[in-house]
């Protein structure tokens, strides 16, 4: 069978809604695109732990602290499910981690913003995880089995992340004037980055044709973004908070909330490495890798010794 | 700089007693003991399991997609393996 025929069979399979499984023949670019997407996604989960980790020791109550810890542990889990899914495409985990710590790999631009106050922890759960849920629910319908199954698993866990964040911010918004101002300030700073994290607008999205044809993505960035906006605006209202967008208005005809112009120059600046925390995030991952080295080393030597003992005894 | 991640293990989780173990994903670990602990932390943070198996990924043999048709076709023409193949007179019970 020649390549063109194989590609046709592959496309037919995808068009009929079947999932592609590990080790099946796939076009080289399908494999490449997926490795790129899944590993960027995995890195985002891992780097995403950093801004929140900043507040663990300063959580205002034991309840909030336990919740934040559990939430961050989930994000570590998400990173690992995703590295595991990427590996089914024949790439080594060590290679992906190298790409992250050498600064070659990208991760979600949003994690390059700092968490300045406790309210930011609420804003992240509510907005960042909220945007992630909408995106990941879409990705769960994608064509690659291992990625789609990882998404299903992740989505089940995200709902808790989203709700704890909203609850936190809602409680602040019902508190003292200072607490309410803190909640509003967090929303002001996190709103636009959350809108941007769903990716460039459809007109400028360079990868979208192929990824949609192969059903790696089943909906465009703008469609997903609109769903996020429609869900979130009423939630802000219910908490008595104001979305920082003077042009925001409800379109009676379409039933959608319309937002003002998105400042994409900022988005691209952050992606290119000029965000407020890019360097700090990278350094933290390098340190973690370096400081964990003796643990991996010791575990390996221990495993070898145990194995040697076993063969001796046998 | 390349980090040694340890061996790759496939993870199978039994959600509750009495049902089969199901593939959940994979972990890296230098030995089975650490693979089990890591699998517990990664795949059962909410009591999703009562039992876990870990198997070195390179020990699993699998059929390939290309051969799947010919590999499984001996079963294609044996409809008589299914109970619905047989005609039973009306009114006869418990068959
Ligand atoms: Fe996550
Ligand atoms: Fe999350």
Orientation of helix B32-43 relative to helix A62-87, angle to 10°? 120
Residue-wise pLDDT tens digits, A296-312 = 999 999 999 999 998 88
Does A38 score more than 50 pLDDT?
Answer: yes
List CB contacts (< 8 A) between A70 and chain B.
45
Collect all residues from B whose CB is shorter than 8 A from any CB in A.
Answer: 1-6, 8, 25-31, 34, 41-43, 45-46, 62, 64-66
CB A306, CB B31: distance < 8 Å: yes
Residue percentage of chain B with pLDDT more than 70: 97
Q: How confident is residue B2, by pLDDT bands cut at 50, 70 and 90?
A: low
Task: Name the one residue in this structure whose structure tokens are 């790999």.
Answer: A105
In angstroms, what is the span from residue B42 Cα to ligand 2's centroid?
14
pLDDT at B63: 87
**Minimum CA–CA partner of B9 in chain A:** A84
Among the partner-chain residues B8, B65, B66, the one whose CB lies closest to the CB of A87 is: B8
CA distance to partner chain A, nearest, from residue B10 (Å): 9
CB A244, CB A232: distance < 8 Å: no
Ligand whose nearest atom lies closest to the CA of A126: 2
- CB contacts < 8 A (A, B): 69
CB A182, CB A139: distance < 8 Å: no
What span, in angstroms and rounded, lies between the C-alpha atoms of A249 and A258?
A: 5
Does A207 score more than 80 pLDDT?
Answer: no
Mean predicted confidence (pLDDT) in A164-182? 98
**Minimum CA–CA partner of A84 in chain B:** B26
List CB contacts (< 8 A) between A150 and chain B.
25
pTM value is: 0.93
Instruction: Count Cβ atoms below 10 Å from residue A255 Cβ, excluding itself.
Output: 8
pLDDT at A254: 96
In angstroms, what is the span from residue A245 Cα to ligand 2's centroid?
25
CA distance to partner chain B, nearest, from residue A261 (Å): 40
Does B43 score more than 90 pLDDT?
Answer: yes
Mean predicted confidence (pLDDT) in A135-142? 97
Does A203 score more than 90 pLDDT?
Answer: no
Residue-wise pLDDT tens digits, B46-72 = 999 999 999 999 999 988 877 888 899
Instruction: Count Cβ atoms below 10 Å from residue A5 Cβ, excluding itself.
Output: 9
Q: Give the C-alpha distances (Å, rounded to integers) separating A225 from A80, A131, A193.
A: 26, 8, 12
List CB contacts (< 8 A) between B2 and chain A.
94-95, 98
* Contact state of A303 with B31 under an 8 Å Cβ cutoff: yes
pLDDT at A271: 87
Residue percentage of chain A with pLDDT more than 70: 99
Instruction: Count Cβ atoms below 10 Å from residue A208 Cβ, excluding itself.
Output: 18
In angstroms, what is the span from residue A305 Cα to ligand 1's centroid?
37
Q: How confident is residue B1, by pLDDT bands cut at 50, 70 and 90?
A: very low
Average model confidence (pLDDT) for chain A? 95
**Minimum CA–CA partner of B33 in chain A:** A303
* Contact state of A94 with B5 under an 8 Å Cβ cutoff: yes
Ligand whose nearest atom lies closest to the CA of A160: 2
Among the partner-chain residues B3, B6, B25, the one whose CB lies closest to the CB of A84 is: B25
């Amino acid at each position: 069978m020649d390549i063109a025929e194989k590609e046709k069979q592959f496309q037919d399979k995808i068009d009929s809604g079947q999932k592609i499984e590990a080790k099946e023949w796939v076009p080289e670019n399908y494999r490449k695109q997926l490795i790129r997407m899944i590993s960027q996604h995995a890195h985002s989960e891992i780097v995403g732990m950093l801004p929140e980790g900043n507040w663990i020791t300063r959580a205002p109550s034991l309840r909030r602290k336990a919740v934040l810890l559990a939430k961050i542990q989930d994000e570590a889990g998400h990173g690992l499910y995703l590295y595991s899914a990427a590996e089914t495409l024949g790439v080594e985990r060590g290679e992906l981690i190298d790409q992250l710590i050498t600064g070659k790999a990208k991760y979600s631009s949003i994690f390059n913003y700092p968490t300045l106050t406790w309210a930011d922890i609420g804003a992240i759960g509510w907005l960042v995880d909220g945007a992630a849920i909408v995106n990941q629910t879409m990705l769960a319908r994608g064509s690659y089995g291992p990625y789609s199954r990882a998404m299903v698993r992740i989505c089940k866990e995200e709902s808790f992340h989203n709700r704890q964040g909203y609850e936190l911010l809602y409680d602040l918004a019902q508190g003292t004037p200072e607490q309410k101002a803190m909640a509003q300030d967090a929303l002001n700073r996190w709103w636009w980055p959350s809108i941007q994290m769903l990716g460039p607008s459809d007109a400028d999205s360079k990868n979208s044709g192929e990824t949609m044809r192969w059903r790696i993505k089943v909906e465009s960035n703008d469609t997903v973004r609109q769903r996020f906006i429609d869900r979130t605006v009423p939630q802000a209202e219910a908490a008595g908070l104001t979305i920082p967008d003077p042009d925001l208005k409800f379109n009676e005809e379409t039933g959608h909330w319309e937002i003002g112009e998105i400042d994409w120059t900022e988005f691209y600046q952050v992606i290119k490495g000029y965000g407020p925390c890019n360097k700090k995030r990278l350094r933290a991952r390098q340190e973690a890798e370096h400081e964990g080295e003796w643990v991996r080393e010791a575990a390996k030597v221990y495993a070898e010794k145990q194995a040697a003992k076993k063969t001796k005894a046998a | 700089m390349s980090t040694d991640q340890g061996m790759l293990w496939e993870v199978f989780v039994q959600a509750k007693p009495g049902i089969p173990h199901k593939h959940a994903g994979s972990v890296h670990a230098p030995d089975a003991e650490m693979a089990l602990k890591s699998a517990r932390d990664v795949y059962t943070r909410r009591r999703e399991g009562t039992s876990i198996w870990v198997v070195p990924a390179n020990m699993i043999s699998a059929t390939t997609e290309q051969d799947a048709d010919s590999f499984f076709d001996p079963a294609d023409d044996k409809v008589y393996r299914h109970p619905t193949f047989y005609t039973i007179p009306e009114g006869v019970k418990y068959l």
